[in-house]
Amino acid sequence: MPELPEVETIANGVHERIHGQTIQSVWTSNKPQTFKSTPDEIVQVLTKSRIDRVYRVGKTIVIDLTRGKRPAQFLIHLGMTGRLLVSTPDTPIPPHTHAILSLSSRPDAASGNKELRFVDARRFGRLSVVASADDETKYAGPGKEPLTIPLADFITLFRNRKTPIKAALLNQSLLHGVGNIYADEALFHSGIRPLRQAGRLTRAELTRLRTALQKVLRDAIKLGGSSVSDYVDADGVAGFFQLHHHVYSRTGQPCRICKTPIKRIVVGGRSTHFCPICQK
DNA sequence: AGGTTGACCTGGACGC
DNA sequence: TGCGTCCAGGTCAACC
């Protein structure tokens, strides 16, 4: 489920709650596909490490660690249904919990007062560690950051690409962090049809697209900031915030601008929504 | 190499 | 109520 704004909101919320704490012990489930590193490596690297910073790169939550004197990293991808929860140990463990980190604010404490839990029903999420995270091996993500990419680089990304612009926006090795909702919304706000060939968009269109994409992402981050606790604390039941979507999941409903019914098509195997009048 | 398709999972919504 | 079908905001391997 989570795209860039959701992942950023979660990372910030988790950072506020657990940075500076030490991981005393780690439990992992026995579902091997959840782990990109082996569960043993994960336990090895995390145990007795201190959490310095929690942040987002693309759709991945990155936790910078100090292990002994050396930097390491813990990488969490939430997939479609992954959740990262800060709980107390007495909070009931939800179904589909795949990892639990017991934390303590003092390095030498025997047991902690908080836990970081990774819960993922559908198991598309992935956990991994970088044992020695110097500047060259620190996780940088597969592509470019949509919020900070300069216009010239943005335009270059799509040059000569024959794939539909919708598919190109979802390609994480170009821009990382953009998912299905914000791709559809950004194309709507820039007036571009999802099936247009990426390499055939004009400079003016790509300029509009970058502006629209950054605006929808920033607006969603603003919205999420006020409700972090809904999905980081305890059970995290409330789920993700809803932006005021213009096209996503509005098939058949009137366009908010021109009242024409919103169309749904499939592009690159993904459900895609657009206004046949407002988008050219 | 770039582009496309299907596989990976579970659960919720919907129709009969 | 129960059962079957379809759908889901994510990758990634395997193909062309």
pLDDT by 10s per residue, chain A, length 280: 699 999 999 999 999 999 999 999 999 998 888 999 999 999 999 999 999 999 999 999 999 999 999 999 999 999 999 999 999 999 999 999 999 999 999 777 766 689 999 999 999 999 999 998 787 889 999 999 999 999 999 999 999 999 999 999 999 999 999 999 999 999 999 999 999 999 999 999 999 999 999 999 999 999 886 677 777 886 766 667 777 899 999 999 999 999 999 999 999 999 999 999 999 9
Do A171 and A78 lie in a common domain? no
Which nucleotide has the shortest C1'-to-CA distance from A239? Answer: C9
Q: A115 and A37, same structural domain?
A: yes
Catalytic residue flag (residue A2)? yes
Distance CA A57, CA A120 (A): 20
Strand B, nucleotides covered by protein (CB < 7 Å): 2-11
Contact criterion met (CB below 8 Å) for A84 and A56: no
A68 CA – C8 C1', rounded, Å: 42
Q: Which of A63, A98, A130 corresponds to the end of one domain? A: A130
Say if residue A162 is in the same domain as residue A251.
yes
Q: Do A62 and A97 fall within a single domain?
A: yes
Q: Both A109 and A38 in a single domain?
A: yes
Radius of gyration over alpha carbons of chain A, in Å? 20
Does any domain span residue A136? Answer: no
Asked if the structure places residue A145 within a domain, the reply is no
The reply to whether A126 and A157 lie within a common domain is: no
Residues A122 and A176 in one domain: no
Check whether residue A53 and residue A95 sit in a common domain. yes
Please state, in angstroms and rounded to a whole number, the distance separating the CA atoms of residues A6 and A182: 11
pTM of the model: 0.95
Distance CA A106 to C1' C12 in A: 40
| Positive/negative CA dihedral, A36, A37, A38, A43 | negative
- For residue A185, give the CATH number of its domain: 1.10.8.50
Is residue A244's beta carbon less than 7 angstroms from any atom in nucleic acid strand C? no
Nucleotides of C under 7 A from a protein CB: 7-12
Is A269 within the bounds of a domain? Answer: yes
Would you call A256 a catalytic residue per the annotation?
no
Confirm whether any atom of chain C, the nucleic acid strand, is less than 7 Å from CB of A179. Answer: yes
Backbone angles phi, psi at A184, to 5 degrees: -60, -45
Q: Annotated catalytic, A59?
A: yes
- In whole angstroms, C3 C1' to A206 CA is 49
Q: Identify the domain boundary among A97, A130, A163.
A: A130
Residues 74-103 of A with CB under 7 A from strand C: 77, 79-80
Q: What is the DSSP code (8-state) at residue A271?
A: E
Same domain, A52 and A99: yes
Q: Considering the candidates A5, A6, A8, A59, report the single residue annotated as catalytic.
A: A59
Range of the domain at A34: 4-130
| Pairwise CA distance, residues A158 & A164, whole Å | 10
Distance, CA of A257 to CA of A255 (rounded, Å): 5
Through-space separation of residue A90 CA and nucleotide B6 C1' in angstroms:
42
As for how many domains chain A has, the answer is 2
Q: List C-alpha distances in Å: A232 to A27, A104, A146, A239, A249.
A: 19, 18, 24, 9, 25
The reply to whether A270 belongs to the active site is yes
H helix intervals, chain A: 4-18, 39-46, 151-157, 165-170, 180-189, 203-225, 229-232
Is A181 inside any structural domain?
A: yes
| Spatial separation of the C-alpha atoms in residues A114 and A117, rounded to whole Å | 10
Residues A104 and A168 in one domain: no
